[in-house]
Homo-oligomer: A and B are copies of this chain.
Amino acid sequence: MSDPSNVAFLGLGAMGFGMATNLLHSFPNTTGFDVWAPTLSRFTAAGGKSAQTPAEAVRGAKYVVFMVTSAAQILSCLFDESTDTGKSTSAATALEKGAVVILCSTTPPDHARVVRQKLDAVGRGDVALVDAPVSGGTVRAADGTLSIFAAGAEADVQAAKPVLDAMAGSNLWVIEGGLGAGTNVKMVHQVLAGIHVIVACEAMGFAARLGLNTQWVFEELQRGEGNSWMFGNRTPHMLVDDGKIYSAVNNFVKDIGIITTGGRAAGLPLFLSSAAEQVFVAGFSAGYGAKDDAELVKLYIPTEQNLVLEQTSLAKTSSKDASKLELIAKLMAAVHLVAAIEATTLGAKVGLQPQQLFDICVGAAGTSFMYKDRIPQLLSGKWTSKKTVDEVIAELKVSIEAAQQLKYPLPLSGTALQLLQLASLKGLGRDPDVAVSRIWDGVDGPLFPGSKV
């Protein structure tokens, strides 16, 4: 019999452990499951209960939260047979009547619907299912203030509210569109977040190669149009050598793979996401998979991997430093602008409500100065006095030519320039936001009908 105070929590990794431990405040009867024994012991030491199999974990639980690593693990946990109370059974069979399953792992958008079909196929139409991916990192996971994008049948989302509220506080977003819509929000958010992490690396490696004091560059760039939340969050890890892993490269290898897979499925070209994916995957190939993603800056300066670190205390040598700083700021602003359009376009294409998507992302890790500044005008179609597409191109060219002189690679900035040039060549508009967004206009017309050429 399910007890409304009982929670099963599957997957006690870096995020999951904090989420489950936080849940103990509201749900003291939370049972954890993980294949790695030490994290399970740590969870019982924190006051939780532990289970040896998924089926044992879910037995008696009203709520079942999944925070395992992948869609494959969710399917394995739910539908593989395991030996529980002496007999072989699957967790799907062991779920209490009317249990509420909450999927928090980042998975492909169609995954939650696959789980629904499989539950129904084994006669578990009684089980409520919520697609509820999260964003916010380990600190907010442990605080119970994660951003959660919850979607599913209205009654199911309602049934999951007590647990969602305990994990998200005021950061719970209910997304229209049924199972998969929450994951679509997360996917679009990761377009921004993933590109911004790589731009931060591209920018800081460039700063080092330009001979600038990197600490000063970090402080200055945060004040201007090149800033992003990820730049503020990741760059400090490049400026100290603490060896810590805040977020492993493998996380984005997975998330951006979901994005480009989603783009292929939707028939939507995602130039910047694809370029960023190549850098993440190149990092994986070079052995950085389990390392902090800020270390990818080293891919940009392979023969002088500590240059960003070493130049934190470099003297500011000349008045040229300010103009070198401008080169980096312009490059970041241009890539962030194109990333904002690419993400917003993907969101519209997968059927998300653009204004809600903006409201979510602007307050989350995917935000940037450019995203906040430009997307409202793209959505409203009201162009206020800003730079034209040709002015943005002219600025970005100066940065790219400086990098070319240094023979410094700029895969993301190079891609952004091609897209801006395409928008200009085709006469898609004066406003760079509108012009770039029109690159994706399909045979059905513009995705953002409010925008004017």
A binding-site residues for B, Cβ under 8 Å: 253, 257, 260-261, 263-264, 267-271, 274-275, 277-278, 281-282, 284-287, 289, 299-303, 397, 400-401, 404, 407-411, 414-415, 417-419, 421-422, 424-427, 439-443
Q: Bound state CA distance, A357 and B279, in angstroms?
A: 35
Q: With A275-B411, A414-B278, A425-B442 in contact, is A257–B404 under 8 Å at CB?
A: yes
Q: Which residues of B contact A264 (CB under 8 A)?
A: 397, 400-401, 417, 421
Q: Is the CB of B408 within 8 A of A281?
A: yes
Q: Which residues of B contact A443 (CB under 8 A)?
A: 425-427
Can you offer 16 A-B residue contacts whose CB atoms are under 8 A? A257-B404, A268-B421, A269-B425, A271-B271, A274-B414, A275-B415, A281-B408, A281-B409, A285-B301, A286-B303, A289-B407, A425-B440, A425-B442, A425-B443, A426-B441, A426-B442
Minimum CB–CB distance from A430 to chain B (whole Å) comes to: 13
Q: Which residues of B contact A421 (CB under 8 A)?
A: 263-264, 267-269
Partner of A418, one of B270, B285, B411: B270
Q: Is the CB of A284 within 8 A of B407?
A: yes
Minimum CB–CB distance from A107 to chain B (whole Å) comes to: 15
Q: Bound state CA distance, A299 and B410, in angstroms?
A: 16
Partner of A424, one of B267, B275, B299: B267
Q: Is the CB of A302 within 8 A of B287?
A: yes
Q: Is the CB of B285 within 8 A of A425?
A: no
Q: Which 7 A-B pairs have the closest CB atoms?
A: A427-B443, A269-B418, A269-B421, A274-B414, A281-B409, A286-B302, A269-B422
Residue of B nearest to A274 (CB): B414
Q: Bound state CA distance, A411 and B276, in angstroms?
A: 10
Q: Which residues of B contact A407 (CB under 8 A)?
A: 253, 281, 284-285, 289
Q: Is the interface of A mostly helix, strand, loop or mixed?
A: helix
Q: Is the CB of A285 within 8 A of B409?
A: yes
Q: Bound state CA distance, A442 and B426, in angstroms?
A: 4
Partner of A274, one of B253, B263, B286, B417: B417
Residue of B nearest to A426 (CB): B442
Q: Bound state CA distance, A419 and B439, in angstroms?
A: 11
Residue of B nearest to A441 (CB): B426
Q: Bound state CA distance, A284 and B289, in angstroms?
A: 24
Q: Which residues of B contact A422 (CB under 8 A)?
A: 269, 439-440
Q: Which residues of B contact A439 (CB under 8 A)?
A: 422
Q: Which residues of B contact A253 (CB under 8 A)?
A: 407
Q: Is the CB of B271 within 8 A of A415?
A: yes
Q: Is the CB of A261 within 8 A of B414?
A: no
Q: Bound state CA distance, A264 and B403, in angstroms?
A: 14
19 more CB-based (< 8 A) A-B contacts, given A268-B421, A271-B418: A264-B397, A264-B401, A269-B419, A269-B421, A269-B425, A271-B415, A274-B415, A275-B275, A282-B299, A282-B302, A284-B407, A285-B300, A285-B302, A285-B303, A286-B303, A287-B302, A422-B440, A425-B443, A426-B443
Q: Bound state CA distance, A253 and B409, in angstroms?
A: 11
Q: Is the CB of A268 within 8 A of B442?
A: no
Minimum CB–CB distance from A200 to chain B (whole Å) comes to: 17
Q: Is the CB of B408 within 8 A of A285?
A: yes
Q: Bound state CA distance, A415 and B253, in angstroms?
A: 18
Q: Bound state CA distance, A263 and B409, in angstroms?
A: 17
Q: Is the CB of A404 within 8 A of B269?
A: no
Q: Which residues of B contact A284 (CB under 8 A)?
A: 407
Q: Is the CB of B285 within 8 A of A404?
A: no
Minimum CB–CB distance from A256 to chain B (whole Å) comes to: 10
Q: Is the CB of A260 within 8 A of B427?
A: no
